[in-house]
Amino acid sequence: MMFRILAFLLLPVICLAQVNSKVEKPTGELLSNEISPNDMKRKASYNLDEIKVRWKKAALENCPGVPCVVAPSFTCGTSTVSDVDGNSYETVAIGTQCWMKSNLRVMNYNNNDLIPDSTNSTWGTAIIGARTGYVATGVTGVYVGTFGYLYNWYAVNDSRKLCPAGWHVPTDSDWNKLVISLHSGTTVADTSSTSSLQSATAGTALKSQAINSSVGSGLGWNPGSPGTNTSGFTALPGGFRNNAGSFNNIRDNAFFWSATEIDNDGAWNRGLNGGNGNVYRSGILKTFGASVRCLRD
């Protein structure tokens, strides 16, 4: 009987000894007693690599037991966003939306596939995505840097995406929300109406204050009805390219694609006029070239 009691009392000690016998030896003891100096270096490197892998895995699994790597916070209006080519864009909050403050000037889709720079002979017949710089003086670089590229709608609709991750080409509904938030005075036109005039006032709030000293010169709006840019949208008159390949209306008009198509041939856009505060909602052919603004998801 006494032996059974003694055995029962000693059982935890025996179990603990068994557990301790299975514990791996400290790394230092392993390195000093069981492997060569060269193996020690490899072992140290392996341990470091293993630690990195485990640390990353833990961080991805809601960071249990290790500090999380937190992505930088984004604040619309002070934070910037970059496209796949590395171009940086300032942002602006308008109502509940967050917009880029300048037109898109990316040359590649988000997977780094090149968006073709289409020539006059292929522009109007293309049924794939294409881009172009506005050509007026034979020098497109200045215009692209200020006004961005003109894209056809097939580029807008391409599954490889124009806008950076987390951003998108605004839909017709997105544009409606923007215009309505800036409109004052007369009633905003019903979007189902045949009239293309959506607002007679919102355009003034959208347009940049940059005014050219004379018609046909500079990189702002030709003299006319100035913009106040009270929205911060900073719209500039990048013109458009028609389906025949001709360039038109730089310094006078701005045309922005929506991601919403009307039918097989056309899609909705928004237009601003240098001579007034109007915002036009109209359908244009998908083969036209217009500017693109990106909206945060």
Number of domains forming the structure of the chain: 2
Give 145 or 191, the one with higher predicted confidence.
145
82 strand-pairing partners: 88
10 pLDDT higher than 50? no
Q: Are residues 157 and 59 in the same domain?
A: no
Q: What's the number of CA atoms in the CB half-sphere (13 Å) around residue 279?
A: 31
Q: Kindly state whether residue 135 falls inside one of the protein's structural domains.
A: yes
**Residue that wins the pLDDT comparison between 19 and 146:** 146
- Find the distance separating the first CA and the last CA of the chain, reported in whole Å: 77
Question: Is pLDDT of 2 > 70?
Answer: no
Sheet strands (E) in 116-223: 131-132, 150-151, 167-168, 197-199
Question: What letter does residue 98 receive in the DSSP assignment?
Answer: E
Task: Give the range of the structural domain holding residue 47, as residue numbers without chain letter.
Answer: 25-70
- pLDDT value of residue 9: 43
Tell me the two tokens of residue 148. Answer: 């961005």
Residue 24's pLDDT is 45
Q: What is the rounded distance in angstroms from the CA atom of residue 151 to the CA atom of residue 117?
A: 9
Q: Do the domain assignments include residue 151?
A: yes
Is position 284 within any domain?
A: yes
Residue 8 lies in a domain: no
Q: Phi and psi for 202 in degrees, rounded to 5?
A: -65, -30
The model's pLDDT over 122-155, given as tens digits with 9 standing for 90+, comes to 899 989 999 999 998 767 788 999 999 999 999 9
In a domain, 10, yes or no: no
Tokens for 70, please give them.
Answer: 């937190």
Q: Using DSSP bridges, classify how beta strands 88-94 and 97-100 pair: parallel, antiparallel or unpaired.
A: antiparallel
Residue 213 domain flag: yes
CA 178/CA 30 separation, integer angstroms:
67
Distances 285 to 22, 68, 176 between C-alpha atoms, Å: 75, 49, 20
Laid out side by side, the sheet with 88-94 consists of: 80-82, 88-94, 97-100, 295-296, 167-168
Q: Is residue 12, in this structure, part of any structural domain at all?
A: no
pTM of the model: 0.76
Mean pLDDT value of segment 238-251 = 95
Q: Are strands 150-151 and 131-132 parallel, antiparallel or unpaired?
A: antiparallel
Of 4 and 135, more confident: 135
Average pLDDT over residues 5-34: 43
